[in-house]
Amino acid sequence: MDKNGIGYSSLIRSKRNHTGVIGVSFDKKSGTYIARLMYHGRYVLNQATRSFDEAVKLRRQAEQQYFNVKEMND
């Protein structure tokens, strides 16, 4: 975690990331995209949607709310 309590996994894209967006993954079993964000060791966002774009939108909104940033992953 950095000094603000933000886990590095919330900031840095892993080589295992297949969607290209930090905090958005695809669940093959359910066929949904999962938007996640961990803040101070707790998930503040953990939501499933059928739409990739919707999952990205949810993640970006959570980033703005909790990290106060505009375009963190771009």
With bands split at pLDDT 50, 70 and 90, how would you rate the model's confidence at 15?
confident
Residue 51, CA distances (Å) to 11, 23, 27, 31 in order: 22, 14, 12, 10
Give φ, ψ of 6 to 5 degrees: -95, 125
Which residue stretches of 1-74 are H helix?
Answer: 52-67
Domain boundaries, the chain: 8-67
Q: Each residue of 16-72: pLDDT tens digit?
A: 778 889 899 999 999 999 999 988 888 999 999 999 999 999 999 998 998 876 544
Contact 45, 7 (CB under 8 A): no
Residue 12 neighbours by CB distance under 10 Å: 10
With bands split at pLDDT 50, 70 and 90, how would you rate the model's confidence at 12?
low
